Amino acid sequence: MKKKKATSAGFTWTGAISFFILIAVIMQMAILVYDYIRERTDNVTWIAVLILIEIIIFATFCTVFDWIRRKITVERPTQKIVDATEKIAEGDFSTRLDIAHEYGKYNQYDLIMENLNKMAIELQKNEVLKTDFISNVSHEIKTPLAVIQNYSTLLQDETLDSETRKNYSKTLISASKRITDLITNILKLNKLENQEIQEKHEAFNVTEALAENVVEFETMIEKKNLELNCDFDEVTIFSSKSLLEIVWNNLISNAIKFTPDGGKIDITLKRKDKNVEIKVSDTGCGMTSETGAKIFEKFYQGDTSHSTQGNGLGLALVKKVIDILGGEIAVQSEVNKGSTFTILLKDVVYED
Ligand SMILES: Nc1ncnc2c1ncn2[C@@H]1O[C@H](COP(=O)(O)OP(=O)(O)OP(=O)(O)O)[C@@H](O)[C@H]1O
Ligand SMILES: [Mg+2]
């Protein structure tokens, strides 16, 4: 980061020159007073006493002048900073300091104040994020927990027939799976954000990796009677296989989830020079441009009819991974027509 310029808080040319003139005037006055006394008396004791009084008066004057100068230039800004840091330390992140000079004429105190203001703004932002995060997580956990409580109470009824029992336990399993998925995604996202996941880069056949992933969704695709078309170029890339798995999983599961029975999903993988482009298209419910602008935010769910399936963390994870890998992600969508997610992995093609 470029260092900002600031003048020294303890030294200014105007301050130094004023101080110099003051000392020079006082010395001159001392000499004049001394001459004045010598002209009027030869009494050495008197001269000594008067000189002593003169020194005391001038020294007091200088001390008071210096004290006022320090009060204005050092103590006042330091006290402002101390007060602000105390407030921030107590958790009041709305604290801001008024900077004395205009931008470009900053001294070191102004710079400290500006930095403190920036720190307070960042802390305030983090506080908001933390509160939002906690309320989102609590909300997401509360719903399946309520389901678990209700259905386990219902299961206590011994007169239930085996079919109903089976249905209730299915509901219980899916509610607990929601909580597990939520926690898994939060932990993954947290690890990615704190860069704890070592993105182990390796050369691997991305065509095979993607195809293997698609196969895992076969049962879900068949269940919804979806038409699936895959068109993959044969490419080896140098990237992180495990991170990309997060991307495939979320995009394909979204395409399946948001496409009604009998719809179509197209997945393509194209080599473009040194880059690789992957597209996942569906003929599902699509989304408005307002929704499209928010889908990468944590916990955002645009389509409320599917909100019980998932927590709105999938695309936040995908975006984070793509950012880490230095790629691009874009979405094109039309309501009730479908959506296309395009991923561009840059400079990844691996050739021996
Ligand atoms: N293929 C798609 N078609 C239509 N809308 C989509 C599609 N993919 C994502 N969305 C919209 O983006 C929102 C966020 O997607 P995201 O994957 O982050 O969450 P989710 O699928 O609802 O939950 P989770 O991924 O945590 O299971 C979705 O709720 C939906 O509104
Ligand atoms: Mg999802």
Q: pLDDT at position 254, please?
A: 95
- The residue from 128, 158, 188 where one domain ends is 158
Please state the rounded mean pLDDT for residues 177-203.
86
Residue 175 maps to a domain = no
Same domain, 154 and 205: no
Please state the rounded mean pLDDT for residues 24-31.
88
Taking the CA atoms of 173, 177, 180 and 182 in sequence, report the sign of the dihedral they define: negative
Cα 238 from Cα 241, distance rounded (Å): 9
Q: pLDDT at position 307, please?
A: 65
Enumerate residues 6+ apart whose C-beta is below 8 A from 6.
Answer: 106, 107, 108, 110, 111
Instruction: Give the tens place of pLDDT for each residue, 57-108.
Output: 988 988 998 899 889 888 999 999 999 999 999 999 999 999 988 888 888 8
Cα 159 from Cα 151, distance rounded (Å): 15
User: Phi-psi region for residue 217, left (φ > 0), alpha (ψ -120 to 50) or beta?
Assistant: alpha
Is 263 close to ligand 1, i.e. is its CB under 6 Å away? Answer: no
Residue 188 maps to a domain = no
Same domain, 253 and 122: no
Task: Write the single-letter amino acid at 76.
Answer: R
Is 338 close to ligand 1, i.e. is its CB under 6 Å away? Answer: no
Cα 122 from Cα 134, distance rounded (Å): 18
Write the burial class of residue 129 (CB in 10 Å: 0-12 exposed, 13-18 middle, 19+ buried).
Answer: exposed
Count of beta carbons in the 10 Å neighbourhood of residue 25: 10
- The residue from 158, 190, 213 where one domain ends is 158
Residue 10 maps to a domain = yes
How far, in Å, from the CA of 257 to the mean position of ligand 1? 8
The candidate with the shortest Cα–Cα distance to 243, out of 299, 180, 322, is 322
Same domain, 134 and 7: yes
Predicted confidence band of residue 292 (pLDDT cuts 50, 70, 90): very high
Same domain, 224 and 333: yes
Whether the model clears a pTM of 0.85, i.e. scores above it, the answer is no
Cα 137 from Cα 126, distance rounded (Å): 16
Count of beta carbons in the 10 Å neighbourhood of residue 111: 17
Cα 160 from Cα 170, distance rounded (Å): 15
Domain that holds residue 222: 201-345
Number of structural domains, the chain? Answer: 2
Percent of the chain exceeding pLDDT 90 equals 67
Same domain, 114 and 221: no
Predicted confidence band of residue 197 (pLDDT cuts 50, 70, 90): low
Write the burial class of residue 156 (CB in 10 Å: 0-12 exposed, 13-18 middle, 19+ buried).
Answer: exposed
Measured in residues, the chain has a length of: 352
Same domain, 218 and 320: yes
Same domain, 15 and 106: yes
Predicted confidence band of residue 145 (pLDDT cuts 50, 70, 90): very high
Q: The domain that contains 341 carries what CATH number?
A: 3.30.565.10
Please state the rounded mean pLDDT for residues 131-152.
91
**SS3 at position 201:** strand
Candidate of 265, 301, 313 to mutate for ligand 1, largest count of ligand atoms within 8 Å of Cβ? 301
Q: pLDDT at position 309, please?
A: 76
Same domain, 153 and 238: no
Closest Cα to atom 13 of ligand 1: 301
Same domain, 250 and 130: no
Cα 25 from Cα 27, distance rounded (Å): 6
**SS3 at position 190:** helix
Closest atom of ligand 1 to CA, residue 296: 18
Is 311 close to ligand 1, i.e. is its CB under 6 Å away? Answer: yes
Instruction: Give the tens place of pLDDT for each residue, 237-279.
Output: 999 998 999 999 999 999 999 999 999 999 999 999 999 999 9
Residue 327 maps to a domain = yes
Task: Please say whether the beta carbons of 285 and 258 come within 8 A.
Answer: yes
Please state the rounded mean pLDDT for residues 273-300.
95
Q: pLDDT at position 235, please?
A: 96
Q: pLDDT at position 140, please?
A: 86
First to last CA, the chain: 38
Same domain, 21 and 77: yes
Residue 293 maps to a domain = yes
Same domain, 150 and 218: no
Residues pairing with 7 in the sheet: 107
| Residue 2 pLDDT exceeds 80 | no
Q: Give helix then strand counts, H and E, for the chain.
A: 10, 7
- The residue from 123, 139, 158 where one domain ends is 158
Q: pLDDT at position 40, please?
A: 87
How far, in Å, from the CA of 134 to the mean position of ligand 2? 20
Instruction: Give the tens place of pLDDT for each residue, 224-241.
Output: 999 999 999 999 999 999
Closest atom of ligand 1 to CA, residue 284: 3
Residue 176 maps to a domain = no
Residue 297 maps to a domain = yes
Cα 325 from Cα 348, distance rounded (Å): 10
Q: What is the overall mean pLDDT for the chain?
A: 91
Same domain, 148 and 49: yes
Residue 56 maps to a domain = yes
